[in-house]
Amino acid sequence: MERIIEAVDSGDTNVLMVLVGAIHGNEMAGVKAIKNVFNEIRQNNLQVKGKVVGVAGNLQAIQAKKRYLDFDLNRHWTPEFIKSLQMQPKEDLFHEDLELLELHELFMTLGKEDYDLKLLVDLHTTSAENGNFIVIPGNPAENSIVRSLKLPIVIDLDNYIPGTLLQYMHSKGFLSFAFEGGQIGSEKAIDLHTHGIWELMYQAGVIEPKHDIKELLHYEELVGSLHSHLPQTVKVLHRHKVKYEDYFRMKPGFENFQAVKKGDILAEDKKGIITAPYDGMIFMPLYQNIGNDGFFIVEEL
Ligand SMILES: [Zn+2]
């Protein structure tokens, strides 16, 4: 796979839209959705206004079908870390160091260009069900582009997970957010990402909305079919951090945004059972044996 999946550029300076798939190598829905969108643009000769670039995240992890090889590529985007990488000899670098440097160079080159709006959409999937939501740094919950996806918006997650690509690109003047499309490996996640990207392109003025009303409503139908109650905006109350040697195991069956009460048994590790420290909703319960976030508790605003 190539770093740049595909790109299209009309020469207009209204919008730069960077779509990133598989920054976690086992989350391929975003890459497939990016390909779907570019295929349709090409096949129907659609008029694009602005520049859209589809980028593949962790190339080596994609190849290996793993979340990552040496470390999580979405936890190390800090100016200090990037600077330290730039000063090291190439032969000392780990797999993800090289990925990060390449991506960084690409994003900084794109970021130098002048656009009215620079957008970075980081496409992810989750290991638990009902993983459909937006994560955005800061509090731009009223942003119409982000709101057009009609998904729950998680604010302040950046206070709990440092070093994400989002935060870094936010600091570089991009409107950046993560778009979680659903469960890893599900067709529905690819569908939601594909139609979500169209929705974002209409909203950002990159493409004219289709006159076919059925197509226009398709995204809304998709979101409507997800689950009965979708909170609008949630904030994080608690993160349960895990280390590999904890032998953390989430109790089976939890979905994102499922209500929990203080004291409910959520998981166990080598020290015993782990209960909910607050009333709220469970968020991003870990159902794969890799990653450092066991679960979060969030509350609706
Ligand atoms: Zn991910």
Distance from the CA of 164 to the center of ligand 1, in angstroms? Answer: 10
Across the range 4-10, mean pLDDT stands at 98
Give the pLDDT of residue 268.
97
Distance from the CA of 27 to the center of ligand 1, in angstroms? Answer: 6
Answer yes or no: do 118 and 202 share one domain. yes
Distance from the CA of 49 to the center of ligand 1, in angstroms? Answer: 29
Give the environment of ion ligand 1: residues with CB less than 5 A: 24, 27, 124
Residue % of the chain over a pLDDT of 70: 98
Identify the domain boundary among 224, 245, 264: 224
Distance from the CA of 285 to the center of ligand 1, in angstroms? Answer: 13
Return the amino acid letter for 206.
V
Domain count, the chain: 2
Give pairs for 208-216: CB < 8 Å, separation 24+. 208/47
At 227, the pLDDT band (50, 70, 90 cuts) reads low
Give the pLDDT of residue 137.
87
Identify the domain boundary among 192, 224, 256: 224
Distance from the CA of 265 to the center of ligand 1, in angstroms? Answer: 26
Model confidence, pTM: 0.93
Which domain CATH number covers 281?
2.40.50.100
* Burial bucket for residue 162 (CB in 10 Å: 0-12, 13-18, 19+): exposed
Q: Between 29-43 and 187-203, two packed helices, what is the crossing angle to 10 degrees?
A: 50
- Rounded Cα distance between 196 and 180, Å, is 10
Distance from the CA of 10 to the center of ligand 1, in angstroms? Answer: 31
Q: Is the pLDDT of residue 141 over 60?
A: no
Could you tell me which residues come within 8 angstroms of residue 221 by beta carbon, excluding any fewer than 6 positions away? none
Domain span at residue 48? 4-224
Query: What residues does 238 pair with on adjacent strands?
Result: 297
Give the pLDDT of residue 228.
65
**Token pair for 187:** 């067709």
At 129, the pLDDT band (50, 70, 90 cuts) reads confident
Q: Is the pLDDT of residue 40 over 70?
A: yes
- Residue scoring higher pLDDT (186 or 139): 186
In a domain, 229, yes or no: no
